[in-house]
Amino acid sequence: MKPALNVHAALSGKRVLITGSTGFLAKVVLEKLVRSVPDIGRIVLLIRAGTNGSDARQRFERDIATSSIFDRLRAEHPAYLAQFFAERIECVTGEVTAPCFGLPKAEFNALARRIDLVINAAASVNFREALDEALAINALSVEHIAELTRANNAPLVQVSTCYVNGYNQGDMGEQNVVPARAAIPRHGDGYYDLYALRKHLEHRIAQVRASTSVPEELERRLTELGIAEANYHGWNDTYTFTKWMGEQLAMRAMRGRSLTIVRPSIIESTLEEPVPGWIEGVKVADAIILAYARGKTSFFPAKADEIVDIIPADIVANSVLLGAAEALLEAPATRIYQSCTGSSRPITVGGVIALIQGESQRNWQQYERLFYRQPKHDFRVVSRPVFLVLLRAMRLAAGGWSGIRRLLGAGESPRLEALRTTQLLALTFSFYTAPRYTFHNSSLMALAQRFVSEDRARFNVDSRRIDWQEYLCRIHMAGLNRYALRPRAPKSAEAQAAAAAVPEAAQAAPHAVEQAAPATPL
């Protein structure tokens, strides 16, 4: 029998480059490395320059080092944290979408020679990103990252998403995904050859750019092009389409080398570490929760009896680090792991709604940033045909009432804004709440069993430990309230008097979907 794998043995003294470190998941990975692998050699963060001209180190100090993700370390080991940041964090100003990251060739080569492992967590997590942007960030940038790994034969851990499975249905295992619709040629080495697809997409993008010079119109048309191409080839949105392309380009570029693809499902707040409930920003499920809390929506198209796959961020981070340790210790290979709950600890869409709604109606006062008042309406899920009929009927009614209000000088009905929110939420997220497949993680669970018992506890990836009522109703709701939402500013006497004259729905917060993002992973 092979000896058990050990994370510390793998990462001790190693120099690890991480992309996407200003993002949600990468922060959880970074904090875990700092806290649990103190003898790591160096962590190199590739960070693009700020729009205000700030360099990578300045952005690290402003956007990462100050994050609440490090509150536990700041409280328990402040001197160690400060010393680690000063001595073992190296910040490189670069652009992942540019050849050589935009660095001089000699500087890029020098960087490559001192890197032992790359964790690529950079991504555009906008489901409806303009096609050129999504293609550059989620797919083509992988070739630049793979080039970096060649100088020192460094393994690459590529963070992807379970939803690269697209329009496929049924049981989804930890293997390369066959496109559900358009035929794309498959190479003898197992990956899909994207040469013709890339040329096609680049041609279509060039056509759109040549047809308009108005920035807003250009972005809209490139977004529509991305959705159309994704749907045609077998994916719901531009994000999942380009992430699948990124996997194929990684497999091509890393042939004969060590590549580990980690696919999370819908990433939400941490289960345990560094603290229960840590989250940054509003994610997929949270956009719907927030819209419900603010009275923006009361119904949504979904299948109540189908599994919705939610995974805590710390389980995903642990999956990344176990995969990274294996890649450093074992012979080069392409490995795929899915960090998910569907096959091991499933919960249905209806189950999630029942738990969240029950907690909201019982204990809404405990979540003062999330709820401005007691929720009095129920949240219902309906089939897509019923949703469309209801939306059309309610839009007609609200439009008629708005017309009357305008004649009386009262302005547009708040119900129209609520309907627009409902429609936008459905357009963006309904695919993820009406799933047609179950993700499996048997390979990830088998990997965990190959590590020493201390690592299995310290880097837990076992989603069977999740108590959904505890996680959703207490940990996640509390974390969303504490970390993702800002405190309400106190109202002036004049504002309070004005608010008293405005219908409740009109006082709702801005659209919940403005900050919503998938997981993507994080």
The per-residue pLDDT of the chain, averaged, comes to 87
pLDDT value at 88 more than 90:
yes
Nearest CA to 439 among 271, 182, 266? 266
Residue 287 lies in a domain: yes
Residue 300 binned pLDDT confidence (cut-offs 50, 70, 90): confident
**For residue 381, what pLDDT is reported?**
75
Residue 518, preceding bond cis, omega within 30 degrees? Answer: no
**For residue 516, what pLDDT is reported?**
37
Tokens read off for 319? 């999956």
**For residue 421, what pLDDT is reported?**
65
- From residue 202, alpha-carbon distances to 140, 198, 199, 225, 467 in Å are 12, 6, 5, 11, 46
Q: Which of 215-229, 246-260, 462-476, 484-498 has the lowest mean pLDDT?
A: 484-498
pLDDT value at 513 more than 60:
no
- CATH number of the structural domain spanning residue 206: 3.40.50.720
- CA distance linking residue 129 with residue 126, whole number of Å: 5
- From residue 92, alpha-carbon distances to 17, 23, 45, 146 in Å are 10, 16, 6, 17
Residue 245 lies in a domain: yes
Tens of pLDDT, residue by residue over 344-373, are 999 998 899 899 989 999 999 999 999 988
Q: Which of 92-106, 200-214, 260-274, 278-292 has the lowest mean pLDDT?
A: 278-292
Residue 335 lies in a domain: yes
**For residue 491, what pLDDT is reported?**
55
- Percent of the chain at pLDDT exceeding 70: 83
Residue 322 lies in a domain: yes
Residue 507 binned pLDDT confidence (cut-offs 50, 70, 90): very low
Q: Which of 54-63, 487-496, 505-514 has the lowest mean pLDDT?
A: 505-514
**For residue 406, what pLDDT is reported?**
56
pLDDT value at 4 more than 60:
yes
Q: In what helix (H) or strand (E) does residue 258 lie, and over which residues does it extend?
A: none
Amino acid 208 reads: V
Residue 385 binned pLDDT confidence (cut-offs 50, 70, 90): low
- Percent of the chain at pLDDT exceeding 90: 70
Residue 511 binned pLDDT confidence (cut-offs 50, 70, 90): very low
**For residue 378, what pLDDT is reported?**
81
- CA distance linking residue 238 with residue 236, whole number of Å: 7
**For residue 515, what pLDDT is reported?**
31
Tens of pLDDT, residue by residue over 231-279, are 999 999 999 999 999 999 999 999 999 999 999 999 999 999 999 999 9
Residue 522 lies in a domain: no
**For residue 486, what pLDDT is reported?**
86
**For residue 297, what pLDDT is reported?**
72
Q: Residue 93 is part of which domain span?
A: 7-515
- CA distance linking residue 449 with residue 459, whole number of Å: 11
Tens of pLDDT, residue by residue over 410-458, are 555 555 566 666 666 666 666 777 778 999 999 999 999 999 999 999 9
- Could you tell me which residue, 284 or 498, shows the higher pLDDT? 284
**For residue 305, what pLDDT is reported?**
86
Cα angle for residues 9, 12, 160 (degrees, 5° grid): 85
Q: In what helix (H) or strand (E) does residue 385 lie, and over which residues does it extend?
A: helix 384-407
Tens of pLDDT, residue by residue over 109-158, are 999 999 999 999 999 988 889 999 999 999 999 999 999 999 899 999 99
- CA distance linking residue 51 with residue 4, whole number of Å: 47
Residue 175 lies in a domain: yes
**For residue 376, what pLDDT is reported?**
79
Q: Which residues contact 224 (CB under 8 A, 6 or more apart)?
A: none
3-state secondary structure 133-200: HHHHHHHHHHHHHHHHHHCCCCCEEEECCHHHHCCCCEEECCCCCCCCCCCCCECCCCCECCHHHHHH
**For residue 404, what pLDDT is reported?**
54
**For residue 287, what pLDDT is reported?**
77
Please count the structural domains in the chain: 1
Q: Which residues contact 508 (CB under 8 A, 6 or more apart)?
A: 294, 295, 296, 414, 417, 418
**For residue 126, what pLDDT is reported?**
87
pTM for the model stands at 0.88
Residue 2 lies in a domain: no
**For residue 299, what pLDDT is reported?**
67
Question: What integer is the mean pLDDT of 92-100?
Answer: 97
Q: What is the DSSP letter of 429?
A: H
Residue 1 lies in a domain: no
Question: What integer is the mean pLDDT of 213-234?
Answer: 96
